């Protein structure tokens, strides 16, 4: 097939060249020139000649949403899949992406055929997994293929109601010279797939393997092409799995769906709080934090362990929490509360494999550390949240009421909250604090 003309575009400054160069002559960055097709359509088919209307006259689009077959995933997506919606699902190898999508595919066959394109596993491997999961699948079409142009043909021919591409890194277009998995291939294929999905009104899941650095598909560049980005989290050797909505053009971000990996695939967990604090122990260093980045809070257990340092450079290790944020909290603990950890190793762990990025966890993490250091447990009937400022002040955070209500629902009697939030909720006492010191005095 004749090659369409290509150009090389600097990913850093946008400089274009007809030849590949190791270093961008415009911005001086190395290895930033990436092959792209010279002419391209638009992903959003807005067309030309659109109307100009005041905001008040635009009606909200109503979508006919289709269920993924999992109530929690539908809820996290904002009510199911929208026609033409392109969803990137990213996660480390072995976490369960293919398993989840195979289950979704099977359940989606109630709407028609589902095309599962796999460039990672052979048809018989997937079929074996399908049988293990108890799927029958007359309408579930497995297609082990990596050449994009062939996949296009099959989509035309089979007219599926859902497309799965597992994984985007294995698919390549013959229009580009670079190999599968390169930035240009991944971008090109995603772009054209998105175009096709919009045109046909078919939703699609694209699997993106996360590289060691944690970037999605190597190329973070996919994020702006797709409508929705889901991140699959959890520890491989633990059975909790969390799907987080990182971006969503058809719903809110921060929503989560919790699953449990069983011998029969993924099962949805409808009461995640019960799940995450189910094994909590009453020991120094353990606290309960109502976590939320979306509208549904989940109670999670945060654990800290402070021990005399083993080596001259004390260790700071975290799981599910940012290690730089920990360094900051240790500095605040020292300066504002007189809790010294200079000669101690400090470990912080969010139980269950969920990772907590919101600053609202600061107060809980700081208290877990203080509690371990002082060898005094935080009372069992308490939850706490709040962001910490550098002067040790406790700052307001979002979703205060949702968090406290979730704690009340699970029988907690007291919630330590930022004093600037005016929260009064029946059945639970709120203890407003304005500084870290105050929180430590109240709880330890
Ligand atoms: P997989 O879906 O292949 O992960 P990914 O596509 O993200 O690379 O998940 C594979 C893991 O899940 C593997 O370690 C086995 C485990 N698993 C179960 O525990 N139960 C099951 O029913 C299935 C199908 C897989
Ligand atoms: Mg897989």
pLDDT band at 429 (very low <50, low <70, confident <90, very high): very high
On the question of pLDDT at 217 being above 60, the answer is no
pLDDT digits (tens, 9 = 90+) for 330-389: 999 999 999 999 999 999 999 887 889 899 999 999 999 999 999 999 999 999 999 999
How many whole angstroms from 36 Cα to the centroid of ligand 2?
A: 27
Instruction: Please give the distance, rounded to the nearest whole angstrom, from the Cα atom of residue 146 to the centre of ligand 2.
Output: 14
The pLDDT of residue 39: 59
| CA 94 to centroid of ligand 2, rounded, Å | 7
Q: What is the pLDDT of residue 313?
A: 92
Looking at the chain, the whole-number percentage of residues with pLDDT higher than 90 is 68
93: Cβ below 6 Å to ligand 1? yes
User: Is the CB of 243 inside a 6 Å radius of any atom of ligand 1?
Assistant: no
Q: Residue 142 C-alpha to ligand 1 middle, in angstroms?
A: 17
Ligand 1 contact via 167 beta carbon (within 6 Å): no
Is any atom of ligand 1 closer than 6 Å to the C-beta of 164? no
If you average pLDDT over residues 410-424, what whole number do you get?
94
Flag whether pLDDT at 214 surpasses 70: no
Q: Which ligand is nearest to the CA of 243?
A: 1
pLDDT in tens, 47-81: 567 778 888 887 777 788 999 999 999 999 999 99
Atom 14 of ligand 1: nearest residue by CA position? 94
pLDDT of residue 235: 78
pLDDT at 295: 78
Region 234-258: what's the mean pLDDT? 89
Of 240, 237, 231, nearest to 352 by C-alpha is 240
**Nearest protein CA to atom 22 of ligand 1, as residue:** 265
Ligand 1 atom closest to Cα of 166?
A: 6
Is the distance from the beta carbon of residue 277 to the nearest atom of ligand 1 less than 6 Å? no
Quick one: which atom of ligand 1 is closest to the CA of 99?
2
**From the alpha carbon of 236, which atom of ligand 1 is closest?**
14
| CA-265 nearest atom, ligand 1 | 22
Is residue 98 lining ligand 1, measured as CB closer than 6 Å?
yes
Ligand 2 centroid from CA 120, angstroms = 7
Is there an atom of ligand 1 within 6 Å of 129 CB?
Answer: yes
Return the pLDDT at 280: 84
Segment 122-147 mean pLDDT: 92
Please give the model's pTM, rounded to 2 decimal places: 0.85
Query: Taking residues 153-175, what's their average pLDDT?
Result: 95
Give pLDDT, residue 267: 95
Q: Output the residue whose Cα is nearest ligand 1's atom 12.
A: 96
What is the pLDDT, as a whole number, of residue 2? 47
Query: Ligand 1 atom 11: the closest Cα is on which residue?
Result: 94
pLDDT of res. 210: 82
53 vs 266, which has greater pLDDT?
Answer: 266
């Amino acid at each position: 097939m004749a090659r369409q003309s290509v150009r090389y575009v600097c990913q850093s400054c946008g400089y274009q060249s007809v030849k590949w160069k190791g270093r961008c002559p415009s911005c001086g960055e190395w290895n930033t020139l990436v092959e792209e097709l010279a002419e391209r359509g638009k992903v959003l088919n807005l067309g030309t000649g659109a109307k100009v209307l005041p905001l008040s006259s635009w009606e909200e689009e109503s979508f006919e949403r289709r269920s993924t077959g999992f109530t929690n995933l539908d809820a996290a997506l904002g009510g199911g899949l929208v026609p033409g919606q392109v969803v990137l699902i990213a996660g480390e190898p072995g976490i369960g992406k293919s398993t989840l999508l195979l289950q979704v595919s099977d359940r989606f066959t109630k709407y028609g055929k589902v095309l599962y394109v796999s460039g990672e596993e052979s048809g018989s491997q997937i079929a074996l997994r399908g049988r293990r999961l108890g799927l029958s699948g007359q309408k579930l079409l497995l297609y082990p293929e990596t050449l994009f142009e062939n996949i296009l043909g099959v989509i035309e021919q089979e007219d599926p109601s859902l497309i799965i591409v597992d994984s985007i890194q294995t698919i390549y277009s013959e229009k580009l010279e670079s190999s599968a998995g390169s930035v240009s291939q991944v971008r090109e294929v995603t772009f054209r797939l998105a175009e096709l999905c919009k045109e046909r009104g078919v939703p699609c899941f694209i699997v993106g393997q996360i590289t060691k650095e944690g970037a999605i598909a190597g190329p973070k560049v996919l994020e702006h092409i797709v409508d929705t980005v889901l991140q699959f989290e959890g520890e491989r050797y633990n059975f909790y799995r969390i799907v987080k909505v990182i971006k969503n053009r058809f719903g809110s971000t921060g929503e989560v769906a919790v699953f449990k990996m069983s011998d029969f695939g993924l099962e949805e967990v409808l009461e995640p709080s019960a799940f995450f604090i189910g094994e909590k122990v009453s020991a120094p260093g353990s606290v309960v934090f109502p976590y939320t980045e979306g509208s549904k809070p989940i109670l999670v257990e945060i654990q800290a362990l402070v021990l005399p340092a083993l080596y001259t450079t004390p260790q700071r290790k975290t799981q599910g929490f940012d290690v730089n944020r920990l360094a900051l909290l240790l500095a605040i603990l020292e300066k504002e509360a007189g809790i010294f950890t200079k000669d101690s190793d400090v470990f912080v762990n969010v139980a269950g494999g969920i990772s907590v990025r919101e600053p609202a966890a600061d107060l809980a993490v700081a208290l877990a550390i203080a509690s371990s250091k002082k060898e005094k447990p935080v009372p069992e009937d308490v939850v706490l949240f709040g962001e910490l400022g550098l002067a040790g002040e406790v700052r307001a955070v979002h979703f205060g009421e949702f968090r406290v209500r979730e704690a009340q629902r699970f029988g907690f009697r007291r919630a330590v909250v930022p004093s600037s939030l005016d929260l009064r909720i029946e059945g639970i006492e709120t203890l407003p604090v304005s500084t870290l010191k105050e929180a430590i005095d109240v709880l330890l």
